[in-house]
Chains A and B, each alone.
Chain A
Amino acid sequence: MLTTFALTVTLLVLFYLAVSVKVVRQGYQYTIERFGRFTEVARPGLNFYPAFFYAVGRKINMMEQVVDIPGQEIITKDNAMVSVDGVVFFQVLDAAKAAYEVSELYVAIMQLATTNLRTVMGSMDLDETLSKRDEINARLLSVVDHATNAWGIKITRVELKDIRPPADIVNAMGRQMKAEREKRALILESEGLRASEILKAEGQKQSQILEAEGRREAAFRDAEAREREAEAEAKATQMVSEAIASGNAQAINYFIAQKYVEAVSQFATSPNAKTILFPVEATQLIGTLGGIGALAKEALGEGAPPTPPAAPTRRGPFGQGPA
């Protein structure tokens, strides 16, 4: 019997020690209550709180945690129904407050985030909710963080996971985007066409201008050439007439006769030389030859020169007679 008693006492002691020794793992803190009243927080490590007097109240997770904001339908300012879900990251900074200032911390945070999400997104229209995610996150964070300050927790981050507008709106948005792009494509295309037409016309204009300029230049040069030619002709004629005036009229006959004979020789050597048309009067040629003879005689100083044959009139460039 004594053995049984001793054994019972031993077991009691072991049990008492087992209940009294609290080993708190890293990442947690335990609230300790003495007769139901919170006294202190047990930090990670070995803690000894005699049983019966002290009891562990709550085991608080001090690590950063995440709470899901369940998917929900929200009506935006412009009456579009969007379904949204997200996550809230938070960390307990004060174990006692998180344990006793709020009942059901996770539910409280979730509800707070849910209702404020409605408030924030309900004040925006659909396009804003889709494009201003960061702003929604920031506003939500600010509101929820303020509200949870008293609970000894810090909301570190609020993120919207998914914003889904209704299917028909998504469809319309897709069509709008497509139309927008098509519009841009059409505009670009016609702009290209316009530019190409303009460039073409400009090229044509340029080519016409250049052509006209070429013609103008050519005409100028032609005129110049004719002028120069006339000048040269006039000068030549003048020189000849001067030579005649200062010398003898027979001199002219020399040229004429030379040209005449040259012309005849050219006729003679032409490929169809079988028939030689002699459009000139042989007598005149003879006369020319006679002129040459007279010229020779005069040059040799024998007698008076015979009268020169009628010289063929020569036409100047402008249809005028020789100067």
Chain B
Amino acid sequence: MDAGMTGWLAMLDDHWGWLVFAALLAMGEVVIPGVFLIWVALAAAVTGLVALAFPISVPLQLLLFAGLCLLSVWGGRRWYTANPVDSQDPLLNDRAARLVGEVVTVVEPIDNGRGRVKVGDGVWSCRGPDAPVGARVRVTGAEGSVLTVEPA
């Protein structure tokens, strides 16, 4: 272990070092996109507070930090699962799902459950009860690029 590394570690000896580290990580979170560094920052902050309260050795601090990291990320994941981020447009990039409920016109007869319908100025494959050309059907869902339809 060289002097520089020891010097850096020596800095961690101080509980303020952990708190500064936490703040830097939090800043990194802002700069680097991705909701990950903030949990590490939280772990560093907690480690710093523990070091402030109880005088523990550096290795212990490091191990405590590692454990807290796992815990905070796991907790963060749980929190995210429980409170999913609401998108203002949850169907973004889900073109087929957007079409559910729309009434569209059959352009290729639905025969044996398969045909094509006109949606806007495009044509989509569809699946549903047989229908002649020109029939109006309602989109009920989508499997990949195939829409499921029912008579409107």
CA distance in complex: A27, B9 (Å): 42
- B4 interface residue (CB < 8 Å to A): no
9-residue interface stretch from A8-16, A102-110, A229-237: A8-16
Q: Provide the bound-state CA to CA distance between A18 and B25, in Å.
A: 13
Are A93 and B65 in contact (CB-based, < 8 A)? no
Q: Does A131 contact B (CB under 8 A)?
A: no
Are B40 and A93 within 8 A (Cβ)?
no
Instruction: Specify which chain A residues have a CB less than 8 angstroms from the CB of B62 in the assembled complex.
Output: 3, 6-7, 9-10
A: number of interface residues (CB 8 Å): 42
Chain B residues 26 to 68 lying within 8 A of chain A, measured CB to CB, are: 33-36, 39-40, 58-63, 65-67
Question: Does chain B have a CB within 8 A of A5?
Answer: yes
Residue A97 is within 8 A (CB to CB) of chain B in the complex: yes
Check A260 for interface membership: any CB of B closer than 8 A: no
Given contacts A6-B58, A7-B9, A17-B73, contact A46 B35 (CB under 8 A): yes
A149 at the interface (CB under 8 A from B): yes
B123 CB-CB contact with A under 8 Å: yes
Docked pose: A145 CA to B84 CA in angstroms: 35
In the bound complex, CA of A142 to CA of B80 (Å): 43
Which one, A120-128, A152-160, A167-175, A263-271, is touching chain B?
Answer: A152-160
Contact between B96 and A23, CB atoms less than 8 A apart: no
Interface residue? B142 (CB, 8 A): yes
Separation of A48 and B79 alpha carbons in the complex (Å): 12
Q: Within 8 Å of chain B (Cβ to Cβ): is A26?
A: yes
Q: Is the CB of A94 within 8 A of B144?
A: yes
A149: B residues at CB distance < 8 A: 125, 144-146
Q: Is the CB of A152 within 8 A of B93?
A: no
A18 with B59, Cβ < 8 A, contacts A145-B123, A152-B145 known: no
9 residue pairs bridging A and B, Cβ less than 8 Å apart: A10-B69, A13-B67, A17-B36, A17-B40, A23-B35, A29-B93, A62-B93, A141-B122, A149-B125
Chain B residues packing against A (C-beta within 8 Å):
1, 9, 33-36, 39-40, 58-63, 65-67, 69-70, 73, 76-77, 80, 84-85, 87, 92-96, 116, 122-125, 142-146
Supply 11 further A-B pairs (C-beta < 8 A) apart from A12-B66, A20-B73, A44-B93: A2-B59, A3-B9, A3-B59, A9-B66, A14-B40, A14-B66, A23-B33, A23-B35, A46-B36, A46-B77, A142-B116
